[in-house]
Amino acid sequence: MRPLCITAGLAATMLGAAVAQQPSAPAAPAPPPALEVGTVAPDFTLSGATRFGVLRTPIHLSDFKGKTVVLAFFFKARTRG
């Protein structure tokens, strides 16, 4: 039994050294900075939805230029949660 413990310990040490030598995964890019209050929002495109389903054509923020827009997210909409 003793040689098995030494072998397992040696294998764990070798595995740890092999993992330490592998290049690490590239760091994820930093998220863009948050917009300040009053900043003009960048144009974006989303798929629109109504109570009847998803709209065929996407919605562009630029479609509402000069109008007041309220953007609301319902993160659990159409889920069982």
Each domain of the chain, given as residue ranges in start order, spans 43-81
Is the pTM higher than 0.85? The answer reads no
Instruction: Report the pLDDT value the prediction gives residue 27, as an integer from 0 to 100.
Output: 83
| Spatial separation of the C-alpha atoms in residues 57 and 39, rounded to whole Å | 27
pLDDT of 60 strictly over 90: yes
Are 48 and 58 in contact by the 8 Å Cβ rule? The answer is yes
To the nearest 10°, report the CA torsion of 54, 60, 65, 70. 50
Q: What does the pLDDT average to over 47-74?
A: 88
- How far is the C-alpha of 48 from the C-alpha of 64, rounded, in Å? 13
pLDDT of residue 24: 66
Kind plus residue range of the DSSP H or E element containing 61:
none
